[in-house]
Amino acid sequence: MRNSRIAAVDVGNDSLKAIFGKFDYELNIPNVIARDIEDRPVIGIDELDSKDPLEGIHIKVHSPALNENNVIYRVGHLATKSDNATELDPGSSKSLEDQTLVMLFASLALDAARPENSNVFPKSKNVIDANYILGTGLPLREVKEGKDTGYRSKLLGSVHQVEFLITPRYQGLKVNIRFDEVKVYPEGFAAFINLVMDNDLNIINKDLINKRILIQDIGGLSTDIAVIKDRKVDDDKAQGFNLGVSEALEAIREEIRSRHGVELDSRRDVVEIITKKNDRNHIMVRGSRTSVHDIVDRILLDLAKKQYRLLRNMWQKNSQTEICYFVGGGSIILKDYIKTLNNNLDGYNIDFFEDEKESIWMMANAYYKLISDYVRRTTAANEKKGEEQKATAKEKKGEEQKPVEA
């Protein structure tokens, strides 16, 4: 393989999580974009390069994979401040949305532009040529529909360029992104890998290896329920549903606006309000601390009931299931509600990850493990093939030099 860098990227509905290289760099960017103009107004332009690039991602993206090409975007935190900010809509397919690709390319360009990678990727004037081996994933529903093949083909065989416009530290840089390999994993399988294996794919949770497990991954736009049996995802029984937390977050955001006159920039702001350690479910209204607990409880409890109904139906169809793990950002938001419902109703054997970061980063960690293993196996196979070719060439040379008998 060429001088390629490993990238494991989870373009989640709430935020993008990415791991690069030998676990030497992580990125977490809100999955929000907004169309913009080339010369966006900036207060204190002279101080731009003293700021964090992640706070001011302003890019132009060129790629044959995009439906709309050569468009200028604000991305992440900067986009949340725009009136025209867009987030992925319920019912949309992650594999077909330009937003997914814009977020992916932006994350790779941010990694490639880092000074620490100046010895990894060649740079000519202001253009960086970056090669990546990518591990990423799609919801189970989209993989079952075969959309992973089209998504992968969009990325391979083309050059995708990100031009940094008025972005701190990277202004004027262009990054040409190429993929030497792209692996698209179903999210349910990735979650299982992360549960039972470490970064070297050694088994760390032997108790789960031969169990029948459900993994309910609650995302922003969808919920995947993977059925694990004999260490494999049962493709026939695994299901994806167009039910995530995004609609509930939008409902909370809208009710806060209509009742209290408070405008929240994005769903991310709602998530912070309902998950923060101190003053949870409180906002400031005209300078006064105000509870929105009744709004949050009513809307999230309704969603938790729908999620619990999915669990109950899947468990009935897979009656020998031993445990269900709830994963994903949505599971953190709904954890207390689902636990209460389960205690009062069926009492299934369910579990959540108490470490919120582990749950949120589960997919990115899994993609990293899987793509790193692919690189290790490919490198070993190439080395073995090289040794065999050398041995064959040596034998052939020996045959040629053998004296001919009279």
Q: What pLDDT is attached to residue 123? A: 94
Summary mean pLDDT of the chain: 89
pLDDT band at 405 (very low <50, low <70, confident <90, very high): low
Strand blocks (E) in 31-148: 33-35, 57-62, 71-75, 123-124, 127-138
Separation of alpha carbons 221 and 218, rounded Å: 8
> Which residues lie closer than 8 Å to 61 by C-beta, 6 or more apart?
69, 70, 71, 73, 101, 102, 105, 106, 160, 161, 162, 163
pLDDT band at 391 (very low <50, low <70, confident <90, very high): confident
Separation of alpha carbons 34 and 310, rounded Å: 34
> Which residues lie closer than 8 Å to 207 by C-beta, 6 or more apart?
none
Q: What pLDDT is attached to residue 46? A: 63
The CATH classification number of 5-185 equals 3.30.420.40
Written as six digits, the tokens of 135 are 């591990």
Separation of alpha carbons 231 and 369, rounded Å: 16
Q: What pLDDT is attached to residue 1? A: 47
Residue pair 58/109 in contact by the 8 Å Cβ criterion: no
pLDDT in tens, 30-68: 999 999 988 877 765 667 777 899 999 999 999 999 999
Task: Report whether pLDDT(20) > 70.
Answer: yes
For 68, phi then psi, to 5°, come to: -120, 115
Residue pair 32/268 in contact by the 8 Å Cβ criterion: yes
Q: Which residues of 311-345 are buried (b: 16+ CB within 10 A; e: fewer)?
A: beebbeebeebebbbbbbbbbbbbbebbeebbeee
Pairing, β 127-138 against β 174-186: parallel
Separation of alpha carbons 77 and 329, rounded Å: 18
For the chain, the straight-line distance linking the first and the last C-alpha, in angstroms and rounded, comes to 49
pLDDT band at 257 (very low <50, low <70, confident <90, very high): very high
Pairing, β 213-218 against β 323-327: parallel
Task: Report whether pLDDT(14) > 90.
Answer: no
Q: What pLDDT is attached to residue 2? A: 60
Q: What is the pTM of this model?
A: 0.85
Pairing, β 127-138 against β 123-124: antiparallel
Task: Report whether pLDDT(302) > 60.
Answer: yes
pLDDT band at 74 (very low <50, low <70, confident <90, very high): very high
pLDDT in tens, 86-135: 887 777 788 999 999 999 999 999 999 999 999 999 999 999 999 999 99
pLDDT band at 266 (very low <50, low <70, confident <90, very high): confident
Q: What pLDDT is attached to residue 392? A: 79
> Which residues lie closer than 8 Å to 167 by C-beta, 6 or more apart?
53, 56, 57, 58, 59
Task: Report whether pLDDT(404) > 60.
Answer: no
pLDDT in tens, 328-350: 888 889 999 999 999 999 999 99
Tell me what percent of the residues of the chain surpass a pLDDT of 90. Answer: 58
Residue pair 175/128 in contact by the 8 Å Cβ criterion: yes
Computed on alpha carbons and rounded to an integer, the radius of gyration of the chain in Å comes to 24
Question: How do the domains of the chain map onto residue ranges?
Answer: 5-185
Q: What pLDDT is attached to residue 162? A: 98
Task: Report whether pLDDT(406) > 60.
Answer: no
Task: Report whether pLDDT(206) > 60.
Answer: yes
CA neighbor of 292 nearest in space, from 270, 267, 277, 307:
270
